[in-house]
């Protein structure tokens, strides 16, 4: 479920207190006007939660991908391999650097087809960009093996699966750099916002400087007299986002517990009737959605969708927002020839329905839904 569902007094009071304590300040500086540095605290708490060394808050998940790719040395003309079940943001970030997105179809479990991935690696490939879609981990061990073999870096897009784990490690912390989104639809939200995580100091240093106009933040200089080694940009998170992010992060574990209750209640009633998306071995998902796959019969698909609409569950991305999540439709970004090579992905996604786990819906309503679905 998205974090916006559980925004309550805590977030509201924190915003009021922020205005009492200094107001809409930058994430840095103006020590004389403020008592706290909320964005810096959010980053510290994030690193502790994700068990990683460095976290950097930025304006969005899309910005986080772009900054992360630049930190990994991606330059104009390089190739970045990602998957065709995705969100357009990764492609936009790659294109914004002048690099080339290379798309890989998905397999029956809606994860990157690793045989196709190996075939797409060329001398120009710099980074593998797996995307953990809708709460579900990619096959990270195998992706890491491939990256090591071909000496490639990994940027994990974990915008949709915060809190999911692979071999007990939080997703986003297994590759060289990981990125998160806190936009309105995400598991925890700051309205808009993103986070970059890494265990390597050199990547953090680059991201930190680049996201803040190149500021080196050298202690011996005041901010106004600080130095830069390269031109950056402004991708800084605001204190208002930081203050909300700290509270939402504390709610993450409970969101996943609540998601799981609803997911299990539904799954137990329909797993014999429908094909459900499964998770890779040794992984734990955040139970954001339950995906029914391989629905080849159009009438059955219509019946499921009707039931979900009538009972106010709706769907998440599949099939309603398929155009934004499937490279087959991205002629405007990658051209008609490349987009149409993602036909296999389109077919798999067209036969899938993602049912969202919503807090406003009690667990019992998922049991009722399960009973109705099992009678279709
Ligand atoms: C997989 C994925 N990557 C990146 C993003 C971009 O995040 P943001 O909306 O914060 O820019 C999203 C957001 O929907 C996403 O789902």
- The count of domains in the chain is 2
pTM: 0.97
Residues sharing a CB contact under 8 Å with residue 184, sequence separation 6 or more, in sequence order: 2, 4, 191, 192
> Model confidence over 5-46: pLDDT tens digits?
889 999 999 999 999 888 888 888 888 888 889 999 999 999
**217 and 270 together in one domain:** no
| Cα angle 108, 141, 163; round to 5 | 80
Q: Which of 308, 262, 314, 322 is nearest to 288 (CA)?
A: 262
Cβ–ligand 1 distance for 194 under 6 Å, the answer yes
What pLDDT is stored for residue 155 in this prediction?
Answer: 98
Cβ–ligand 1 distance for 131 under 6 Å, the answer yes
Q: Which of 191, 194, 106 is nearest to 155 (CA)?
A: 194
**143 and 62 together in one domain:** yes
**30 and 78 together in one domain:** yes
Q: From the CB of residue 150, how many other CB atoms can be counted at a distance below 10 Å?
A: 13
Cβ–ligand 1 distance for 68 under 6 Å, the answer no
**12 and 31 together in one domain:** yes
- State the closest ligand 1 atom to the C-alpha of 132, by its place in the atom list counted from 1: 1
**145 and 23 together in one domain:** yes
What pLDDT is stored for residue 32 in this prediction?
Answer: 82
Sign of CA dihedral 24, 15, 33, 221: negative
Q: Which of 292, 265, 288 is nearest to 278 (CA)?
A: 292
CATH of the domain at 351: 3.90.1150.10
Cβ–ligand 1 distance for 87 under 6 Å, the answer yes
Spacing, Cα 181 to ligand 1 middle (Å):
6
Lookup result for tokens 């068990």:
51
> Model confidence over 186-221: pLDDT tens digits?
999 999 999 999 999 999 999 999 999 999 989 899
Spacing, Cα 351 to ligand 1 middle (Å):
23
What pLDDT is stored for residue 28 in this prediction?
Answer: 85
What pLDDT is stored for residue 3 in this prediction?
Answer: 75
**68 and 211 together in one domain:** yes
Are the beta carbons of 311 and 369 closer than 8 angstroms? yes
Q: Are strands 289-293 and 353-356 parallel, antiparallel or unpaired?
A: antiparallel
Chain centre distance of CA 256: 15
**39 and 180 together in one domain:** yes
- State the closest ligand 1 atom to the C-alpha of 60, by its place in the atom list counted from 1: 10
Spacing, Cα 44 to ligand 1 middle (Å):
22
Cβ–ligand 1 distance for 159 under 6 Å, the answer yes
List, as one string, the DSSP characters of 292-309.
EE----HHHHHHHHHHHH
User: The domain containing residue 298 runs over which residues?
Assistant: 252-374
Q: What phi, psi does 131 have (nearest 5°)?
A: -125, 120
**260 and 183 together in one domain:** no
Sign of CA dihedral 243, 244, 247, 249: negative
**95 and 209 together in one domain:** yes
Q: What residue ranges of the chain have pLDDT lower than 70?
A: 1
Per the structure block, which two tokens stand in for 158? 């974990």
Spacing, Cα 61 to ligand 1 middle (Å):
5
What pLDDT is stored for residue 21 in this prediction?
Answer: 85
Spacing, Cα 223 to ligand 1 middle (Å):
31
**153 and 31 together in one domain:** yes
- State the closest ligand 1 atom to the C-alpha of 86, by its place in the atom list counted from 1: 1
How far is the C-alpha of 366 from the C-alpha of 273, rounded, in Å?
Answer: 16
Q: What phi, psi does 281 have (nearest 5°)?
A: -55, 150
Are the beta carbons of 129 and 157 closer than 8 angstroms? yes
What pLDDT is stored for residue 1 in this prediction?
Answer: 67
For the chain, the first-to-last Cα distance in angstroms comes to 25
Q: Domain ends where: 194, 223, 249?
A: 249
Spacing, Cα 180 to ligand 1 middle (Å):
8
Q: Domain ends where: 249, 279, 295?
A: 249
**230 and 358 together in one domain:** no
Are the beta carbons of 187 and 357 closer than 8 angstroms? no
Cβ–ligand 1 distance for 317 under 6 Å, the answer no
CATH of the domain at 10: 3.40.640.10
Spacing, Cα 87 to ligand 1 middle (Å):
6
**283 and 179 together in one domain:** no
- State the closest ligand 1 atom to the C-alpha of 133, by its place in the atom list counted from 1: 1
What pLDDT is stored for residue 330 in this prediction?
Answer: 98
Are the beta carbons of 350 and 319 closer than 8 angstroms? yes
Q: Domain ends where: 214, 233, 249?
A: 249
What pLDDT is stored for residue 124 in this prediction?
Answer: 98
């Amino acid at each position: 479920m998205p974090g916006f569902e559980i925004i309550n007094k805590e977030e509201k009071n924190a915003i009021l207190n922020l205005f009492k304590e200094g107001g809409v300040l930058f994430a840095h500086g103006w020590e004389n006007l403020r008592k706290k540095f909320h964005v810096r605290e959010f980053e510290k708490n994030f690193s502790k939660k994700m068990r990683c060394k460095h976290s950097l808050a930025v304006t969005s998940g899309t910005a986080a991908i772009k900054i992360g790719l630049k930190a990994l040395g991606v330059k104009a003309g390089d190739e970045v391999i990602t998957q065709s079940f995705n969100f357009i943001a990764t492609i936009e970030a790659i294109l914004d650097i002048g690099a080339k997105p290379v798309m890989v179809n998905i397999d029956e479990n809606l994860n990157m087809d690793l045989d196709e991935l190996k075939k797409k690696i060329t001398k120009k490939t710099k980074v593998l960009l797996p995307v953990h879609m809708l709460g579900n981990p990619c096959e990270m061990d195998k992706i890491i093996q491939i990256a090591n073999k071909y000496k490639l870096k990994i940027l994990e897009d974990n915008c949709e699966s915060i809190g999911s784990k692979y071999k007990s490690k939080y997703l986003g912390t297994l590759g060289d750099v990981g990125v998160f989104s806190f936009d309105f639809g995400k598991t925890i939200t700051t309205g808009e916002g993103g986070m970059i995580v890494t265990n390597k100091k050199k990547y953090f240093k680059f991201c930190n400087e680049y996201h803040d106009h190149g500021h080196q933040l050298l202690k011996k200089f005041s901010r106004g007299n600080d130095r830069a080694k390269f031109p950056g940009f402004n991708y800084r998170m605001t204190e208002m986002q930081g203050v909300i992010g700290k509270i939402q992060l504390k709610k993450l574990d409970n969101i996943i517990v609540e998601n799981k209750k609803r997911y299990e209640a539904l799954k137990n009633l329909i797993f014999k009737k429908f094909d459900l998306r499964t998770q890779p071995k040794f992984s734990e998902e955040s139970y954001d959605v339950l995906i029914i796959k391989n629905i080849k019969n159009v009438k059955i698909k219509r019946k499921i969708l009707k039931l979900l609409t009538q009972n106010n569950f709706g769907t998440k991305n599949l099939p309603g927002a398929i155009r934004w999540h499937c490279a087959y439709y991205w002629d405007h970004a990658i051209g008609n020839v490349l987009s149409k090579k993602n036909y296999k992905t389109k077919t798999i996604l067209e036969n899938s329905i993602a049912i969202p786990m919503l807090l406003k819906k009690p667990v019992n309503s998922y049991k009722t839904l399960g009973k109705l679905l099992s009678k279709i």
